[in-house]
Amino acid sequence: MASVPCVRRSPPLLRLVGVVTTLCGASWAFARRPSLLRPSSRGNAGNAGNALTPQQLTGRLKAAETSNHLLFLVEQYENVLNEYHVRAALTRLAQSNETTTLSGDPGFRKLLSRTSELMTTFRSQALATVLWSLAKVEYDPGEPFLRSVIDASLPQLKQSKPQEMVNSLWACARFGYQPGDAFLEALVDTSSSTMDDFEPMDVANLLWSFARLGFHPGNHFLDAVVARSLEIVQSFAPVDIANILWAFAKLKVDEGERLRPLLQQAEEQLDSFEPAKLASLLWSCNKLQLDPSLVLLRALPCRSNRELTELRPRGLSYVLWVYGLLGHNPGTAFLQRVMEKLSRTVPAFDYCGAQGLSGILWSCARFNYDPGEEQVTALLSSAQQHLLQFTPAQLTRLLWACAKLQRRPREEFLQAWLEQARKHLPDFEAEELLLCHRSFNQLNFTEGEVAGLRMDWN
């Protein structure tokens, strides 16, 4: 067989071939990436090359590797999307860990539009999925949209499964949306009759959602939740225990001692608790008058600096305040660690809020821990910037702490403090006024220093 002759190409010809090959390859890759190219025409699912059966489209939506690919499919087949497609698409978006902003995406807008068109035909599972998915991706669709979902869900509540009811209510709580007494009361009635079917996460999220919405479901319902919780206490995950105890505390359940088995279950899993949930657990113990064990009280101070950093300034200040409420000294080493972290923010002690700023110094004073002049001055400087948000109780705690630590505020701070206190004078409790008066005396303010500033506490 004759051999194929080798043809030598000149360098210019080689360069030309390389350019053409590169351009062709780039064009092919561009056309194959839906993240870069979406069809300009809409509703083209009827074209022979793009036709899919409803089942095939559901499979494609569930298998989409990225949210961008998923929304490309939504745009391409928007006119034929049905209840199952919408549910599959929203669930896939909710399960994605991508942080893509959805509000401006045309595919996402098409998905919401199609959802609105089909809303009245959806069954309870799809309606719950709509709410849950939007809450998971942290997209608030607005009051009219939420109202339409709730209106469509209400007639179907009696046939809803526990998880469907819980997911709908949980989403409303995350949005801060009040679904209305009719929906809430119907949900209480239905869940009361099916409480034995609730899984641990469902029980915790249901009660957490009621508490977050500020809706008290009634003592009879709370008794049923307590009974169900104790039946399945061994199956609760740490986050569920923290959430349900927080909810019981917010709803002011009677006889908190009944909940001790939940607290004991928590203490067996302390290593699995996130720092924020440990702090929440301690706060709940205080509100429910449940004495936490020493193991639980010492859990947060044993956490690493990296774990404590996860709490951020507001969370760290909350932790100190909770220990102050419990009257348990977490130790000088822990107080030093927290104060150092808070003082290193820019500006120092910022991002704590009014409650945090008053609680930090109050807790330090309660445990006879003096952070030093530099940190106290920085904290009071930050507090002065936020005094307009301080309540009478927070104003009182801050002044009392200064007196206890013998750290006299500067006159500029004192003037700002008094101005805010005068605005809220009718709201002060008698005991708070007395503490403020004593604090002024302990700080040894002379008549000249407070001339024109002294308040009439009588």
* 448: exposed, middle or buried (Cβ count in 10 Å: 0-12, 13-18, 19+): exposed
- For 195-246, what is each residue's pLDDT tens digit? 999 999 999 999 999 999 999 999 999 999 999 999 999 999 999 999 999 9
CATH class of 300-458: mainly alpha
Q: Per-residue confidence at 448, pLDDT binned at 50, 70, 90? A: low
Contacts of 42 (CB under 8 A, 6+ apart): 75, 78, 79
Q: Per-residue confidence at 101, pLDDT binned at 50, 70, 90? A: confident
What is the dihedral angle through the alpha carbons of 347, 350, 351, 352, rounded to the nearest 10 degrees? Answer: 160
- For 242-294, what is each residue's pLDDT tens digit? 999 999 999 999 889 999 999 999 999 999 999 999 999 999 999 999 999 99
Answer whether 107's CB lies under 8 Å from 71's CB. yes
d(CA 119, CA 127) in angstroms, rounded, equals 8
- For 110-121, what is each residue's pLDDT tens digit? 999 999 999 999
- Is pLDDT above 70 for 43? no
- Is pLDDT above 50 for 6? no
Q: Per-residue confidence at 48, pLDDT binned at 50, 70, 90? A: very low
Answer whether 290's CB lies under 8 Å from 247's CB. no
3-state secondary structure string across the chain: CCCCCCCCCCHHHHHHHHHHHHHHHHHHHHHHCCCCCCCCCCCCCCCCCCCCCHHHHHHHHHHCCCHHHHHHHHHHCHHHCCHHHHHHHHHHHHHCCCCCCCCCCHHHHHHHHHHHHHHHHCCHHHHHHHHHHHHHCCCCCCHHHHHHHHHHHHHHHHHCCHHHHHHHHHHHHHHCCCCCHHHHHHHHHHHHHCHHHCCHHHHHHHHHHHHHCCCCCCHHHHHHHHHHHHHCHHHCCHHHHHHHHHHHHHCCCCCHHHHHHHHHHHHCCHHHCCHHHHHHHHHHHHHHCCCCCHHHHCCCCCCCHHHHHCCHHHHHHHHHHHHHHHCCCCCHHHHHHHHHHHHCCCCCCCCCHHHHHHHHHHHHHHCCCCCCHHHHHHHHHHHHHCHHHCCHHHHHHHHHHHHHHCCCCCHHHHHHHHHHHHHCHHHCCHHHHHHHHHHHHHCCCCCCCCCCCCCCCC
Residue 411: what pLDDT?
Answer: 87
Farthest-apart Cα atoms in the chain, separation: 118
Residue 269: what pLDDT?
Answer: 95
Q: Which two tokens stand for residue 127?
A: 């309606």
Residue 42: what pLDDT?
Answer: 43
- Is pLDDT above 60 for 7? no
Domain residue limits, the chain = 300-458
* 408: exposed, middle or buried (Cβ count in 10 Å: 0-12, 13-18, 19+): middle
- Is pLDDT above 70 for 420? yes
- Is pLDDT above 50 for 383? yes
| Mean pLDDT confidence for 341-365 | 95
Q: Which two tokens stand for residue 359?
A: 């609680």
- Is pLDDT above 80 for 454? no
- For 74-99, what is each residue's pLDDT tens digit? 999 999 999 999 999 999 999 987 75
Residue 402: what pLDDT?
Answer: 97
- Is pLDDT above 70 for 50? no
- For 170-183, what is each residue's pLDDT tens digit? 999 999 999 999 99
Q: Which two tokens stand for residue 47?
A: 């074209």
d(CA 322, CA 336) in angstroms, rounded, equals 16
d(CA 406, CA 439) in angstroms, rounded, equals 10
